[in-house]
């Protein structure tokens, strides 16, 4: 599915270690479009180093996700709350078992070693939405608020949008369950249509957040005084794994993270 392929391009810097087995560690892309990996294995687990820097040392009731962290590393599940210091704005969430994390100054992500390709990815909104297109990206439309983004998404043809109003402390937020039925591009045999949703801070227009025909995603849009933070969750089969995974359990885990989220 093209949208997942584009999303993998965006997230490839956080999942190079999924490409060919445990021997290859994921790298964090900091400039230019990365190359999408061939996903054949579940993420490999790297235990936290005993020589961790002071800011990453676990306290009795907290942990620090500091970095950059270019390997999938276990998130301690006994820490109470984990504080994300690799990303601006700093944030925290309630720890729960089974998560791995990696991150850079532009984004951070978590995954689960559950036999599927799963991602919870956190990044800053790039400031504009992107109309659907088949070939060259069209001009973007600047939008500054979460409510504007949500209203615009509801107008996108062949995009199903279910919206739940949320909040993170005093900050307004929206939970979006998105499903795309964008048809194939006319005159371009075999090429799927692309619902390019919004730009991602630090990424070129060629790599917006997007969905192709048949794709689905949960997204949380959180509006802060300093800008908008977006959290996305996706699930897909690993290569060679039959069937489409039921993402209900993964979304339950994602919701645990979101409902405990706080911005420091």
**Tens digit of pLDDT for each residue in 172-206?**
999 999 988 877 665 555 455 677 899 999 888 77
pTM for this entry: 0.76
d(C-alpha 13, C-alpha 30), whole Å: 8
Predicted confidence (pLDDT) at residue 50 exceeds the cutoff of 70: no
Longest distance between any two alpha carbons in the chain, whole Å: 61
Return the closest-CA partner of residue 219 out of 3, 1, 41. Answer: 3
Residue 228: pLDDT band with limits 50, 70, 90: very high
At residue 17, the pLDDT reads 37
At residue 134, the pLDDT reads 72
Q: Compute CA distances 115 → 24, 52, 74, 112, whole Å.
A: 18, 29, 16, 8
List beta partners, residue 161. Answer: 178
Domain boundaries, the chain: 2-121, 124-227
Q: Which of 58-67, 78-87, 90-99, 251-260 has the lowest mean pLDDT?
A: 58-67
Residue 45: pLDDT band with limits 50, 70, 90: very low
Q: Which DSSP letter does residue 202 get?
A: T
At residue 71, the pLDDT reads 81
Q: Compute CA distances 149 → 60, 101, 161, 202, whole Å.
A: 40, 28, 12, 19
At residue 56, the pLDDT reads 41
The answer to whether 103 and 87 have CB atoms below 8 angstroms apart is yes
At residue 46, the pLDDT reads 46
Q: Which burial class, exposed, middle or buried, applies to 248 when counting CB atoms under 10 A from its CB (0-12, 13-18, 19+)? A: exposed
Residue 118: pLDDT band with limits 50, 70, 90: confident
Q: Which burial class, exposed, middle or buried, applies to 28 when counting CB atoms under 10 A from its CB (0-12, 13-18, 19+)? A: buried
Q: Which of 127-131, 132-136, 157-161, 194-198 has the lowest mean pLDDT?
A: 132-136
The answer to whether 101 and 122 have CB atoms below 8 angstroms apart is no
């Amino acid at each position: 599915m093209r949208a997942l392929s584009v999303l993998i391009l965006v997230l490839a810097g956080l999942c190079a270690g999924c490409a060919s087995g445990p021997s290859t560690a994921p790298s964090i892309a900091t400039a230019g479009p990365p190359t999408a990996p061939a996903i054949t294995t579940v993420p490999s687990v790297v235990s936290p180093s005993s020589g961790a820097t002071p800011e990453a040392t676990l306290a009795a009731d907290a942990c620090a996700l500091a970095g950059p962290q270019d390997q999938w590393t276990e998130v301690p599940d006994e820490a109470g709350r984990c504080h994300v210091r690799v990303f601006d704005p700093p944030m925290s969430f309630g720890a729960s078992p089974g998560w791995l994390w990696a991150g850079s100054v532009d984004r951070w992500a978590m995954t689960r070693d559950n036999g599927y390709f799963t991602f919870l990815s956190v990044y800053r909104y790039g400031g504009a939405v992107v109309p659907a297109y088949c070939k060259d990206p069209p001009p973007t439309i600047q939008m500054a608020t979460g409510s504007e983004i949500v209203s615009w998404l509801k107008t996108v043809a062949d995009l199903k949008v279910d919206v739940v109003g949320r909040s993170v402390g005093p900050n307004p937020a929206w939970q979006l369950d998105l499903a795309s039925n964008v048809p194939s591009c006319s005159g371009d045999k075999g090429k799927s249509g692309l619902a390019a949703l919004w730009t991602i801070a630090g990424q070129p227009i060629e790599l917006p957040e997007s969905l192709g025909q048949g794709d689905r995603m949960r997204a949380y849009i959180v509006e802060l005084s300093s800008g908008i933070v977006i959290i996305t969750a996706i699930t897909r089969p690993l290569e060679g794994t039959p069937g489409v995974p039921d993402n209900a359990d993964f979304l339950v885990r994602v919701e645990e993270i979101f409902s405990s989220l706080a911005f420091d």
